Structure 1
Amino acid sequence: MDWQDLGEARTLAPGEHLVAGLPDYSVLVVNVDGTFHAVENLCPHDGGELGGGLIEGDRVTCPRHGACFNLRTGEVLKPPAFEDLLRFEVRVENGRLLVATQPKASD
């Protein structure tokens, strides 16, 4: 598996997020209570960028039509979206925040 270095993990404090461009995906990375989670940055309903939406705890709301997703699982919590988000593995290695360049396989 290939990993992309997103910089020093300590710069992304709890409650903060960043959007990273990977070779094939745009990914939203969020620090939820000290644990990093990454999901595809596009709403499956109509392609709205989730990084511009409301992020509260472990939930993100699409700014276009209000679909809501769980950042830990990628699960859709509120329509109009009915498809879960792709998730990406995240790890911290030697203080660096790394994200997998391809989505996780379905659980």
Structure 2
Amino acid sequence: MFKKKNELPPWPKPPTNDQMLEDITSAPPDDPVFSEFSSQKKNSSDKSNVDITYDLVRKFLNASKKLEKSLTSLQEQNDLLQVNDTELRKMADDIRQRAEDALK
């Protein structure tokens, strides 16, 4: 009735800062990731490069904070799921044992 599932492999390690910078610098200019930023640059011709860069960095930092919050939330949810999985397995074993005892 209940099959024991294989354990999932561990999550891959997140990329290092150097790896992320290498990805950013090697990305083509028409990469979809940068399309929003390039359209903002075109729309803000009256801004200086410093202002544009500051806005981009600010948006990047805000996105980074959101990702960190999401990661924390996902880790908490994963922990809760693991606890619930353990409890369900114990309950299933208990029910299985009771059914075996009742059939004896």
Higher relative contact order (CA 8 A, sep 6+): 1
Please state which band the TM-score falls in when normalised by the shorter chain: under 0.3
Highest CA radius of gyration, 1 or 2?
2
TM-score by length of 1: 0.22
By percentage of residues, which structure has more helix? Answer: 2
By percentage of residues, which structure has more strand? Answer: 1
TM-score by length of 2: 0.22
